[in-house]
Structures are given as C-alpha cells and as structure tokens.
Amino acid sequence: MIELKEVFKTYKMGDTEVRALNNVSLKISAGEFVAIMGPSGSGKSTLMHVLGLLDQPDAGNYVLDKREINGLSEEKLAIIRNQLIGFVFQQFHLLARLTALDNAELPLIYAGKRHLREKARQKIELVGLKDRISHRPNELSGGQQQRVAIARALVNDPPIILADEPTGNLDSKSKEEILNILKQLNQEGKTLIIVTHEREIAEHAKRIIFMRDGEIVSDEKNNVNPLIVSPDIPDGVEFENKSTASTGAKFIDYLREACFAIWSHKLRSFLSILGILIGVGAVIAMLALGQGAKAAIEKQLTGLGSNLLVVRAGSPKLHGVALESGTVTRFTFQDVDALRNLSDEIVRVSPSVSGRGQIVYFNKNWNTQVEGVDVDYEYMRSFTPEVGRFFSASEVRMREKVALLGTTVARELFGEANPIGEVIKINLINFQVIGVLPEKGATTFRDQDDVILIPVTTAMFRVFGKQYVDAIFIECRDPQAMDALSDSISAMIIKLHRLRKDNEDSFEIRNMADIKKTLEATTKTMSLLLGAIAAISLFVGGIGIMNIMLVSVTERTREIGLRKAIGANNRDILVQFLIEAVLMSVFGGVGGILLGAGVSALVTTIAGWSMIVSLSSVILATVFSLIVGVVFGLWPAKQASRLDPIEALRYE
C-alpha cells in the first residue's frame, strides 16, 4: 500500500545541514502493524511525517496505493490526509475550547460530512469515553485525551493510522489501554504505523524498523500473530474531493468554528470589535452631524427662495469716486411691469422697499426692519403665513395698512397671545395685523424673523415717502437659464434708462441661486470632511483587527497545523480566518450603528444640535465595516493558510 523509493530529506539549521532521511526505501503492505524505532535524531519522526504527507521529501518517490504522490497539489494532499490517513499525535493536539465530541468530528468538517456527526459520537464510545463526551481537554486525563485523538483519527474510517509516540506521555495503565485500542484497530484491518523509542511498545507490532542517522539499519519481522481481518482498502483511491456537502453547509461549519474561536478569546476579540465599533459609531455620528447642518442650512435657504435674481440700484463711480446707491439709476413700477413681460422664463416679479420702523403696541415697543413687498413675494420667498393670511392684490393697490409679523416681533409685542386682528403702530401709523410669518431662523448677519411685511405701495407712500423701489425680485422658471435671463434684464434696463457705457455699473443683478449653491457646496464639503475624519478612525480600527488576527495566527499556529493534518487545505484555513475577521467587523458594525445613533440622539437632546441619522449613512458605515473586515483580515488569513503543516505542528 505504501512504497518509498530512495527518499532524502535535509533540514537547514543556520549554516548547518542535517540529513534527516538518507536514501530511505520502504514498503508497507495493507493491514500491517509496523513500529519505527530509533534514538532521538535518527529520523523516525521525519519518516512518519513524510508517510503522512505532512512533509515533502527533497528527492525520491512516494507511491501510495499504486499512485505517485510526488508533485500533487496541496489541495489534493489535504484530501488524501483527510480520507486515507488518521493521525494520533504524542501531544494529542486537541483544541482546548472544544469538547471531546467537537474535537473528534473536526475531520468531518473538511470532508464535508458534518451531517454525519453521529459517527463521531460512535467513535468516542468505541474508545470508551461515552461518559466524557461533552468534557473539554482540560477536564480529561492524559489517557482520555489520547483516546479522543484516536477517535478523531478514526472518524473518517481511514485505512492508514499513523501514531507518533502514542504512549509517550501516559502512565502504565493508560499505555496498556491505548495499545489495546491500536491493536484492535489493526485486527480490524487498519494499516497501523507507530513511532516509538520504547522496545516494549514496539514488541506489540508485527514488524519493527530500526533507524539511525536517517537510514533504516534493520527491518525485522516480529513473532506476533494477531488475528488479521482482510483489510477493506479502496480499489484505487481518487485524489479528489468527493464531498457531497453544499457550499452553504460548509460555510455554516466554518462560521461555527469562527464563532467558537471568537468566543474562546473574549478579551482579544472584544478589543478588535471595539476598534470597529468606535470607527462605525464615529462615521454615523459625524455624518449625522453633517446631515443636521445641511438640514439647518436648507431651512435657512428656504428664506432666500429658489431661482431668484435681485435687481438693485448700484453705486456708480465718477472720476474714481463711488457715488450713493441710486444716484444714476432708480427703479419704478414701470420697470417692474416691463420685467414681467420680458420673457416666458420669468415666473413672478415683486418690487421691494425697506427701512427701519418703530413698532408700538400699548406699552410695548420694538424697533425692526419693515419691508414693503408685492403679493408674489409670499411664494418667491416661502413666506406663506403659519397663522392668518398674506395681503391681497387689492390691498396693495389700495395702499391698505395691513401687516404680517415675523415670529421675533410677534413674541416681543404679544408674547404667547394671538396677534391676529390687533392694531399696532408703525412709525406712529396704525396697522392691523393679519398674519404671522413662518419661522426662518437667524443667520450670522441678522435675525430673519425680526421683520414686518406690509404692501409695497403702503410702504412707499404712507411709511417711508419713497418714489422709487429699492429692489426688484425676479423668479426664474429654469435655473439653467438664469445667466441668460440676467443678460436680458441688464440689456433691457440699459435700454429703458438710456445708460451710457460709463454708467452701466449703476445697477447690479444678484443671483440668489449662486448663494444657495455656495452654501450647499460648503455643507457638502463639511460633511465629506467629517466623514473622512470618521473614516480614519474606522481605518485605524481595521488595522487593529489585522494586528489582532496576526497575533491570533501566531497563537494558533499549532491549531492550524492540526487542521491541515486532518484534511484542511489552504482555502479552508483562509476562509475560516477571513470569516473570523468579517464576523468581528459585523459585530463592531452593529454596535457602532447603535453607538452612533445613541450619541446623535443624546447630543440632539442635551446640546440641541440638529443631528440626523440617515439610512444611507448606516448602509455606508455597514458596508465600509465589512470591507474593512475583508481587506484587513485577508492578509492574516493568507498568512495562516500558507503555513507548512509540519512546521506549524512543531511551533512552540
């Protein structure tokens, strides 16, 4: 069943070369019980590792069941180790966080046979540990741990059992028990190869091979005649994965193993999760702050209206000296009417005059901004009253003394009382209050709610005594056409007022949409800046996961070696470690979402800042945390998957 032909294996220790195997040739038939003996450093363990496909010879051929092993890929070697070979190690190599049953069923995971878990239970009972099936290794004696290792080696019913010093760490009673189990396995047809340095243990074998300095110096038949059952050896082993398990089922197994690994190292895992949690929480909180600021600015922008052009008298220069605004060009209602008929792109037009006014209501008075506007101003600047109504076109035409109060003025004069229908004095002239304007909020320059609106004609001829309007507000239908419309308005004003070339600066046209775009761009930049700062913290959290995973790979090197010995290939190890990293990112992401939302709600409640947690920010933070888990978990996972199985098992 096994044939080695002129096999060499040399190890380099610094500048020194140690020849562990020197021209070793060996044949072992199916069903044999072979003991390999020799002093320390004789090469017997290296021979065992080569036979078990844990180590590769430098030269020579290895034939297993008439199949050439040399040159096979790591994946095919892993399949052979899983299906044909069972390992029993001197150090047991049981995973401390798993029960006896979980340890025994590990090879089933990589064979895709986890659904055959009952088979692992049967093997545990076979080695006499039925009553210890749910105990962990630290709750078992040395002999019991070795029995679990034997059950693990048998769970896939491999035809070959390799045992490296299987009784080396056991007391006399446990030695006898383990030997009896091994002999029974051989009698059932298993090919049994053990490495030992004890002659009394080797005497139980049918054949004893003695090694010295990497060479076989003797190969003797032993006078032992156990009852041999015809071995059940497959007729031509296919070196491919015959697993019928679905990818989803294997993923569940890997997920379960990853959860066990995370749970068994709680503090280390918590520190990794904490980094992602803080990062995701910071991203959500910062984006919420940006969204809140954006909403606040948008609320203020509603006071500016949309797609507005404002025509004002300018300050022309005469011989380099700036004159008073309106010295050359003054606008009248004729200009307003001309602008209304200028283009189909113009939706609404409203003249405006403004000035300060002293407001009196009984024993209360207040000084505020008084603006005279037309009826279209209500929709152009989103000034539809929350209480009461806006004045009508007939009231503008008749110069009626009606007024709408800003919320600040209403609060100062009336407190919590309803001002509708009350009479106030504006510059000693009686006005009836017909409405309260919607709240606009304060800006850096002024309080937008500290204002009173009255009909433009009333303001001009009854309050301020003006013959000209201060400004003309124009609403454009299409924001893309505002520049062209601005040029048309400029040309019309120059024509109507017969302005010379040197007086064309006597008026100005302001594009309110530009102001809106600037503020929105500023808000967007601020949000991106806050998000970038938060993303850095998430990036740092990802580096934390990578560092912890690298430490985990180092700590679990022997575990990785064991998993490879029982059939895990590079992809299996890669996927398992990657799932661990992603799981920690997911846990951190969920915790970060709760943290970010909680902080946002707390700040909004306590500080009064507007913080809005949006679904997009939650999705962004979640996706980013998953990407962090994959990206920063990939390198440690690759490092783990590339470990040589025998070097990993030898790791101290």
If DSSP states are collapsed to H, E and C, what string results for 207-263?
EEEEEECCEEEEEEECCCCCCCCCCCCCCCCCCCCCCCCCHHHHHHHHHHHHHHHHH
Tokens of 478: 């299409």
Per DSSP bridges, beta strands 67-68 and 59-64 are antiparallel
Q: Answer whether residue 228 shows pLDDT above 70.
A: no
Instruction: Return the minimum-mean-pLDDT range out of 237-246, 247-256, 273-282, 481-490.
Output: 237-246
Give the list of residues 6+ apart from residue 458 with CB closer than 8 angstroms, or none: 372, 396, 399, 400, 401, 402
How much of the chain, in percent, has pLDDT values that exceed 70? Answer: 86
Question: Are the C-beta atoms of residues 319 and 633 closer than 8 Å to each other?
Answer: no
Q: Quick check: 464 pLDDT over 70? A: yes
List the one residue out of 340, 424, 415, 347 whose CA is nearest residue 379. 347
The residue type found at 384 is: T
Q: Which residue carries 């934390």 as its tokens?
A: 544
State which amino acid sits at residue 485: L
What is 493-505 written as a DSSP string? HHHHTT--GGGTT
Q: Is the pLDDT of residue 187 over 50?
A: yes
In whole numbers, what is the pLDDT of the chain averaged over residues? 81
What pLDDT score does 600 carry?
83
- Tell me: pLDDT of 321 over 50: no
- CA 450-452-455 angle, 5° bins: 160
The lowest-confidence range among 59-63, 115-119, 174-178, 464-468 is: 115-119
Mean pLDDT value of segment 326-355: 84
Question: Is the pLDDT confidence value at 243 over 50?
Answer: no
**What DSSP designation does 447 have?**
B
CA distance 93 to 114: 20
pLDDT tens profile 430-447: 999 999 999 887 665 678
The answer, yes or no, to whether residue 275 has pLDDT greater than 80, is no
Backbone angles phi, psi at 193, to 5 degrees: -125, 120
> pLDDT-derived band of residue 88, with 50, 70 and 90 as boundaries?
confident
Give the model's pLDDT for residue 454: 96
Q: What is the pLDDT of residues 506-559, one digit of tens each?
A: 788 887 666 666 666 777 777 777 667 767 766 777 777 777 777 777 877 888
Decide which of 298 and 405 is more confident. 405
Residue type, 5: K
Amino acid making up residue 73: S
Residue type at position 214: G
E-only strand ranges, 122-222: 160-164, 191-195, 207-212, 215-221
Q: How high is the pLDDT of residue 300? A: 60
Q: Which pLDDT score is estimated for 420?
A: 94
Tokens of 50: 């080569």
8 A C-beta contact, residue 640 and residue 553: yes
Are 553 and 636 contacting, i.e. CB atoms less than 8 angstroms apart?
Answer: yes
**pLDDT over 90 (residue 345):** no
DSSP state of 510: E
What does the alpha-carbon distance between residue 241 and residue 531 come to, in Å, rounded to a whole number? Answer: 47
Separation between Cα atoms, residue 550 and residue 633, nearest integer Å:
9
For 574, list phi and psi in degrees, rounded to 5. -60, -50
Torsion angle defined by CA atoms of residues 585, 590, 593 and 596, in that order, rounded to the nearest 10 degrees: -70
CA atoms of 505 and 496, how far apart (whole Å) = 15
List the strands of the sheet with 2-13, edge to edge.
16-28, 2-13, 59-64, 67-68
Q: Which residue has tokens 């003054």?
A: 330
**pLDDT score of 283 more than 60:** yes
H or E element: which one contains 412? helix 407-414
Strands 402-405 and 429-436: parallel
Identity of residue 22:
N
Residue with more model confidence, 26 or 444: 26
367: pLDDT confidence band, cut at 50, 70 and 90?
very high
Residue whose C-alpha is closest to residue 351's, from 376, 368, 386: 376
How many whole angstroms separate alpha carbon 209 and alpha carbon 222?
A: 10
Which of 205-219, 330-344, 438-452 comes out lowest in average pLDDT? 438-452
Three-state DSSP class for residue 4: strand
pLDDT at 155: 87
Q: What percent of the chain has a predicted confidence (pLDDT) above 90? A: 16
Residue 235 is predicted with a pLDDT of 46
Please say whether the beta carbons of 452 and 368 come within 8 A.
Answer: yes
Contact 146, 182 (CB under 8 A): no
Residue 590's Cα: distance from chain center in Å?
Answer: 9
Compute the distance between CA of residue 251 and CA of residue 242 in angstroms, rounded to an integer: 17
Burial 295-324 (b: 16+ CB within 10 A, else e): eebeebbebbbebbbbbbbbbbeeeeeeee
Instruction: Read off the pLDDT band of 236 (50, 70, 90).
Output: very low
Tell the residue number behind the tokens 């709408």, with chain if given. Answer: 404
* CB-based contact 153:145 (threshold 8 Å): no
Average pLDDT over residues 338-349: 88
Q: Where are the domains positioned within the chain?
A: 2-244, 261-299+518-650, 330-498
DSSP class of residue 438 equals P
What does the DSSP 8-state code read for residue 191? E
- Is the distance from CB of 245 to CB of 557 less than 8 angstroms? no
Q: Which CATH architecture has domain 2-244?
A: 3-Layer(aba) Sandwich (3.40)
Bridging pattern class, strands 85-88 and 160-164: parallel
Contact 357, 370 (CB under 8 A): yes
**Contact assessment for residue 182 and residue 194, using Cβ atoms and an 8 Å cutoff:** yes
Q: Which one of 337-346, 503-512, 623-632 scores highest in mean pLDDT?
A: 337-346
Beta strands at 160-164 and 191-195: parallel, antiparallel or unpaired: parallel
Residue 129 near residue 144, CB atoms below 8 Å = yes
- Chain position carrying tokens 């006399």: 172
Of the listed ranges 348-352, 375-379, 514-518, the least confidently predicted one is 514-518
Predicted pLDDT of residue 302: 53
The token pair at 120 is 């692992």
Q: What's the CA gap between 229 and 584, in Å, rounded?
A: 51
The 3-state DSSP class for residue 154 equals helix
Residue 620 has pLDDT above 70, yes or no: yes
Q: How many CB atoms are located within 10 Å of the residue 73 CB?
A: 11
Mean pLDDT to the nearest integer, 117-123: 84
- As a whole number of Å, the end-to-end CA separation of the chain is 34
pLDDT band, residue 299 (cuts 50/70/90): low
CB 383 within 8 A of CB 390: yes
pLDDT digits (tens, 9 = 90+) for 554-591: 877 888 888 888 888 888 888 888 888 888 888 888 88
Contact by Cβ (8 Å): 534, 283 = yes
Residue type at 454? I
Q: Please, are residues 325 and 429 in contact by the beta-carbon 8 Å criterion? A: no
- Under a CB-based contact definition with an 8 Å cutoff, are residues 311 and 474 in contact? yes
For the whole model, what pTM was predicted?
Answer: 0.60
